[in-house]
Amino acid sequence: MLSREMNELLTRVGPGTRMGDLFRRYWLPAVLSEEISEPDGPPVRVRLLGEDLVAFRDSAGQVGLLDAHCPHRRAPMFFARNEECGLRCVYHGWKFDVGGNCVDLPSEPPDSVFRAKVNIAAYPTWEGGGVVWAFLGPRAELPPLPAYEWLRAPDSHRRVSKTLENANYLQALEGGIDTTHSSFVHNNDLGDSGRLKSRNTHPRLDVEPTRYGFRYAGIRSLGQDRTYVRAYQFFMPAMQMRAAFLDGSGEPRETPTLRGHIWVPIDDQWTMVYNWVCSATADTPISDKMWERHEKAAGRGEDDFIPGTYRLKRNLSNDFLIDREMQRARTYTGIVGLNTQDFAVQEGMGPVCDRSQEHLGTSDKAIIAARRMLREALDDVADGRRPLGTDTEELRLVRPAEAILEGSLPWQEAMKDLLMAQW
């Protein structure tokens, strides 16, 4: 368990908090590229680490991320005109470019020098993998651009979506890196005793620190000197990669994929979860049909969202539409959708989980490791050091994997080639 004080330290992410300062040392997803696909299109509201912002694409295709309020009289920039390489406040016509510079001040006299003295808060952005990434920290601490393997795959081999969750980022992250829960909450066929994760529900966990976070494996003995190993990657501060090389019975998938989530704090009580899938091989692109099937199985089909939002229709306000008869006879939870099942237990903890009341077990090694790394990274930032995972090339070289192994060779050696990036 954590003390209440440590829980507060790890979960509060707004301006001026230590965890907020840590997240501001990394590139973070701000919006999907498709949300602002049109040059001179409408601005989009963004809330990130407790800050209210607007994103827009200017006439030249550059992306800006600005303070949500005009520095003149704090009018909302969401209503601004996006025109001629800048965002113009509709209140008095003050106009700002993607760098936050004031480029026009029509309400002031033509000979006014005030324009050179005023600007709007703006953050650096970069586009990759269908995502607009932003850096909210000190410019002197700007790290290298994100270099994860899935960002290097062509558009035809990669897809990304996002989902709004009413929970603090940490309980969402901890749910994602908990490999044991998939034996239970994601058991959607109670009658299938041959399902790999049902044959052994208490995997042994190995956690190995790296220069970007850690890699960890859930190791399930299947008997007869065979083991099912699922090896994951965790990247600081809040991204997980996992592999889908085998189906539920252990047979190779027709399209092996890499998958993952990035848990981006909106504020203390809300998280935007970015969900991505990338083909593991060059000869297997991600088709529209496959992506639609994947999203529907996760509970993220087109008709699963509240229209015009990234919030699921199944949410805590309606108990995720749990079907108790389905739970009794067919599935472990009675809740439809893998993503929805995760949200049910994570949102059900309350917006910010009280970890002083928990009791951790052997299945929680990855969670303990993540908390320790986050605490250490807080100290790094406080002491003027770059935190883990901001300036290393090692993360370019790795990927997750899963396999059924025979014999006594350690999984690290047996899966060495599978754990190397291919893109």
Q: Are 216 and 224 in contact (CB under 8 A)?
A: no
Using DSSP's 3-state secondary structure scheme, residue 389 falls into: coil
CA distance 129 to 159: 8
Domain boundaries, the chain: 28-134, 149-414
Per CATH, 28-134 and 149-414 having the same topology is answered no
Q: Along the chain (423 residues), what's the average pLDDT of each consecutive run of 10 residues?
A: 94 98 98 98 98 98 98 97 98 97 92 86 98 97 95 96 98 94 90 84 93 95 93 97 92 94 98 97 94 96 96 97 96 96 97 95 94 97 95 90 94 96 94
Measured in degrees and rounded to the nearest 5, phi and psi for residue 15 equal: -55, 135
Write down the pTM of the prediction: 0.95
* Four-way CATH pick for 149-414: 3.90.380.10, 3.40.640.10, 2.60.120.620, 2.60.40.10: 3.90.380.10
CA distance 179 to 215: 12
Q: What angle do CA 124, 129, 131 make, to 5 degrees?
A: 45
Identify any residues that bridge with 267 across adjacent strands, giving them in sequence order. Answer: none
Instruction: Number of helices (H) and strands (E) in the chain: give both, helices first.
Output: 9, 18
Q: How do strand 213-223 and strand 226-235 relate by DSSP bridges? A: antiparallel
Reported as type and span, the H/E element at residue 411 is helix 411-414
Check residue 114 and give its pLDDT.
81
Report which of 412, 151, 401, 162 is spatially closest to residue 271, judged by C-alpha positions: 162
Structure tokens at 75: 């009018």
260-300 per-position pLDDT tens digit: 999 999 999 999 999 999 999 999 999 999 999 999 999 99
Check residue 125 and give its pLDDT.
98
Check residue 194 and give its pLDDT.
79
Residue 14 burial (CB count, 10 A): 13
Check residue 385 and give its pLDDT.
95
CA distance 391 to 387: 8
160-205 per-position pLDDT tens digit: 999 999 999 999 999 999 988 898 999 989 988 878 888 888 889 9
Check residue 390 and give its pLDDT.
93
Domain at 28-134: CATH architecture: 3-layer Sandwich (2.102)
